Amino acid sequence: MKTRRTLVAGALAAVGLLLTACGGGGSGDSGDGPVSLTFQSLSDQPAAIAATQKIVGDWNKAHPGVQVKIVQAGWDGVYDKLITQFNAGSAPDIVHYEAAGIAPFATDGFLADLTPYLSAEKRADIPKGVLDSVTVEGKVIAQPTELQSYVVFANKTQLQQAGVTIPTGASMTWDQLREIAKATTKDGKFGLGWGLSSPTAAFVALAPGFGGKYFEGTGNDAKLTAGPGEQALPQLVDAMAHQDHSILPVTLTQSGTKALAPFYAGQTAMTVQGSYQAANIAKDAPKGFDWVVLPPLAGSAGPAQAANPQTLSVNKDSAHVKEAAEFVDFFTGTENLAAINEADALIPPTTSARQALAAKLAGKNGWDAILASGEHLTSAPYLFAGKYAQWKDTVATPAYQQFLAQKIDAAGLAKQLEDGWKNVSK
């Protein structure tokens, strides 16, 4: 789906230039009645849908003059849908998406600047790295709603049987993870399972822990460097897989979700996953399966990870930008963010909502470590690199797959990543 983004964007932008004059706002109201706003929501879990409906219901009750209507849509194909809606001038007033997807719409001038509607209190509540991820050309183009981080889920019993002291504290190092993986690799079982069939997202997100940034600059002028900071994690995975033999090989070619099955079956003692998998593990793991989330992983530069939050934006062509921005501000209030993130098993992007959720769920399996990992989310330069999606699918993922299959060495990987970026961003 993503490989067609470039074609879709190019074709629609060209036609859109000729036809934007036909556009109108997303609001369908007129006259003296209440203002009517459309909110295209992508919530997909039953609990999250219910939480969204409650928040919108609360707003509508408290604001009889500004009524919000939810338009439920799906994640699949939403980029194509949005680019058509924006170019045709029929986008909803309020748009739910993710920072990586929404940034190009901001660059193209489709999103309202929310900076004037962001109170000093809210601004202080959002960590700088997360706020940076929704700031384009100095304008806040969305408010973050939900975050995920990469965490290590561990089979407590297997670690204890291997004589491993289960790490605690604010963070653990990648070297610790490697040692635990080695210690638990025995009797035909492996220390780690990591679904890396599409490894780019994880490697790019975790690179800040080693000082890796990948991109400098924005748009088509962004420059890519695949230096030691960017190469550290792929090389560590390579060493664990092919020197230590502590990663279950098949998982390197599987999706993250597929790598859960050997974890449940005791074939792997640990697995690296998106934090949201805590909800699935709680639901799907066999009875008596004793699991724990290990502390956030830290590289040579600390436990930083790049943030790609889910977001709410306002359509610049909306007839009611102010009201829509006020709704977004309401939606991202502390209680609402805590509720929606609890439902989705994700991390609230504001400090106050994270604290509220921590207080509510203290001691509940995995939540403390997951919420702690949210403290280290930082800005993600790749969000603002113009052709990132194309580079990710056509260059980086095949290159990483070749590297992990030992078809190319580290120098070959760096050359493919850098030369590939130059080609796609010409």
414 HSE (CA, 13 A, CB side):
13
Long-range contacts of 46-54 (CB under 8 A, 24+ apart): 47/342, 47/343, 47/344, 48/340, 48/343, 48/344, 50/343, 51/336, 51/339, 51/340, 51/342, 51/343, 52/340, 54/339
250 binds other proteins (CB under 8 A): no
How far is it, in rounded angstroms, from Cα 95 to Cα 142? 9
3-state secondary structure of 363: coil
CB of 234 to other proteins, least distance (A): 20
The pattern of x and - marking residues 293 through 332 that bind other proteins according to CB under 8 A reads: -----------------x----------------------
253 binds other proteins (CB under 8 A): no
Contact (CB, 8 A) for 43 and 75: no
Q: How many residues bind other proteins (CB under 8 A)?
A: 46
CB of 340 to other proteins, least distance (A): 13
Q: Write out the two tokens for 186.
A: 């025995």
81 binds other proteins (CB under 8 A): yes
411 binds other proteins (CB under 8 A): no
Window of 38-46, 104-112, 169-177, 205-213 that interacts with other proteins by CB under 8 A: 38-46
Output the DSSP codes for 180-227: HHHHT-BTTBEEEE---SS-HHHHHHHGGGGT---EESSBTT-EE---
| List 274, 303, 374, 420, residue binding other proteins (CB under 8 A) | 274
Nearer to other proteins, 78 or 222 (CB): 78
87 binds other proteins (CB under 8 A): yes
CB of 157 to other proteins, least distance (A): 17
| List 53, 60, 90, 394, residue binding other proteins (CB under 8 A) | 90
Residue 147 has phi, psi (to 5 degrees) of: -135, 155
Contact (CB, 8 A) for 82 and 91: yes
| List 31, 33, 65, 74, residue binding other proteins (CB under 8 A) | 74
How far is it, in rounded angstroms, from Cα 321 to Cα 33? 17
* Residue given tokens 């045709």 in the structure block: 88
267 binds other proteins (CB under 8 A): yes
Residue 420 sits at the vertex; the CA angle it makes with 17 and 254, to the nearest 5 degrees, is 100
403-to-196, 236, 249, 360, 411 alpha-carbon distances in Å: 12, 12, 14, 43, 10
CB of 197 to other proteins, least distance (A): 10
CB of 120 to other proteins, least distance (A): 30
CB of 11 to other proteins, least distance (A): 5
| List 157, 264, 361, 405, residue binding other proteins (CB under 8 A) | 264
Task: Return the residues of window 131-190 that contact other proteins according to CB under 8 A.
Answer: 148
34 binds other proteins (CB under 8 A): no
Nearer to other proteins, 98 or 342 (CB): 98
Window of 80-88, 158-166, 237-245, 392-400 that interacts with other proteins by CB under 8 A: 80-88
Window of 184-192, 238-246, 279-287, 383-391 that interacts with other proteins by CB under 8 A: 279-287
| List 126, 141, 260, 356, residue binding other proteins (CB under 8 A) | 260
284 binds other proteins (CB under 8 A): yes
Window of 6-14, 233-241, 406-414, 417-425 that interacts with other proteins by CB under 8 A: 6-14
Residue 116 is classified by DSSP as G
Provide the residue type at 109 as one letter: G
How far is it, in rounded angstroms, from Cα 315 to Cα 112? 6
How far is it, in rounded angstroms, from Cα 168 to Cα 212? 26
368 binds other proteins (CB under 8 A): no
CB of 380 to other proteins, least distance (A): 15
Residues contacting residue 209 through CB under 8 Å, at least 6 positions apart? 174, 233, 297, 298, 299, 300, 301, 302, 303, 304, 305
How far is it, in rounded angstroms, from Cα 70 to Cα 86? 18
47 binds other proteins (CB under 8 A): no
Residues that bind other proteins (CB under 8 A): 4, 7-8, 11-12, 15-16, 19, 22, 42, 44-46, 71-77, 80-81, 84-85, 87-88, 90, 98, 148, 255-257, 260-262, 264-265, 267, 274, 276, 280, 283-286, 310
